[in-house]
């Protein structure tokens, strides 16, 4: 049995992200949100499960007020420190950043040419207990994404998605690519992705992992074959390349790897 686990943004999708810097209220485009988070060891990414259109209707609330009222609507998607949701809520108790700031990023993203809205997120400095950035992410499928998935399925591979994006956006991706929704792992952090690969291997699968950044590192190392794709053209740490068995610059080259 053969399975391939894909990350989503930067791997299947060309990521488009509008970010607001809360230190100066400036909006900017930056796809490398993991790289931005990595600039501060104590910085984490918190992803909202609430769809962007629904979330920004609460623009009169502060972000922490919304999180307190809807604790099941957010998850820690990326962190390099041991931390939980209760600590995040406690840490941000005095932060007055409004959801209207997220609305600004969502409206700007809506003006861009995207196929999938991946959802909204914040970056939290857990040492200084403040929100550094808010953002809304989306993307377009890379040119060969659909063909690659179809071909892999014809080859007999079971396809899985493991991504830090929220459930609704991944369900839309799965629907577009005809991937079983039972094979989706949403808001999946670095440990979650490793667990997905481990579980598949325990169930008898020969597992490929395809990812594009440091949040895929453990899964790349754990898989029977780890494939790092650089198609998003982001600056990546040099040691990440050592964790992969293959480096590709186009999603179509996944087919070359499996055909070996």
Phi, psi of 241 (to 5 degrees): -65, -25
- 59: its two tokens: 């623009």
pLDDT at 47: 94
In 3D, which of 74, 80, 84, 75 has the Cα closest to residue 38?
Answer: 80
pLDDT at 70: 96
Angle at CA of residue 134, ends 130 and 135, nearest 5°: 160
Local structure of residue 1 (DSSP, 8 states): -
Report the DSSP pairing between strands 158-162 and 2-6: parallel
- 236: its two tokens: 């990546």
State the Cα–Cα distance between residues 156 and 126, nearest whole angstrom: 44
pLDDT at 164: 86
Supply the angle between the helices 167-177 and 145-154 in degrees, to the nearest 10: 70
pTM for this one? 0.84
What does the DSSP assignment read for 32-47?
Answer: -HHHHHTTSTTEEEEE
pLDDT tens-place values along the chain, 260 residues long? 999 999 998 899 999 999 999 999 999 998 889 899 999 999 999 999 999 999 999 999 999 999 999 999 999 999 999 999 999 999 999 999 999 999 999 999 999 988 888 899 999 999 999 999 999 999 999 999 999 999 999 999 999 999 988 888 899 999 999 999 999 999 898 899 999 999 999 999 999 999 998 889 999 999 999 999 999 988 888 888 988 999 999 999 999 999 98
Helix count and strand count (H, E) for the chain = 11, 12
pLDDT at 168: 86
pLDDT at 21: 98
pLDDT at 214: 87
């Amino acid at each position: 049995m053969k399975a391939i686990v894909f990350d989503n943004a930067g791997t299947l999708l060309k990521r488009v992200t509008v970010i607001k810097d809360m230190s100066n209220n400036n909006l900017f485009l930056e796809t490398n949100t993991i790289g931005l988070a990595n600039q501060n060891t104590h910085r984490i990414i918190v992803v909202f499960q609430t769809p962007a259109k629904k979330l920004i209707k609460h623009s009169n609330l502060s972000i922490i007020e919304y999180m307190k009222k809807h604790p099941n609507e957010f998850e820690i998607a990326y962190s390099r420190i041991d931390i939980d949701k209760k600590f995040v809520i406690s840490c941000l108790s005095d932060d007055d950043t409004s959801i209207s700031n997220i609305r600004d990023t969502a409206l700007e993203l809506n003006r861009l040419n995207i196929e999938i809205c991946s959802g909204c997120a914040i970056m939290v400095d857990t040492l200084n207990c403040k929100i550094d950035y808010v953002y809304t992410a989306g993307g377009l499928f890379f040119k060969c994404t659909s063909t690659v998935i179809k071909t892999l399925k014809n080859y007999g591979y079971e396809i899985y998605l493991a991504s830090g994006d929220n459930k609704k956006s991944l369900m839309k991706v799965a629907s577009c690519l005809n991937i079983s929704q039972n094979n989706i792992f949403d808001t999946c952090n670095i440990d979650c992705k490793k667990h997905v690969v481990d579980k598949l291997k325990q169930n008898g699968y020969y597992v490929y992992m395809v990812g594009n950044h440091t949040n895929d590192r453990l899964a790349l190392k754990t898989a029977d074959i780890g494939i790092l794709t650089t198609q998003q053209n982001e600056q990546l740490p040099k040691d990440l390349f050592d964790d992969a068995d293959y480096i590709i610059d186009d999603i179509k080259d996944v087919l070359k790897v499996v055909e070996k």
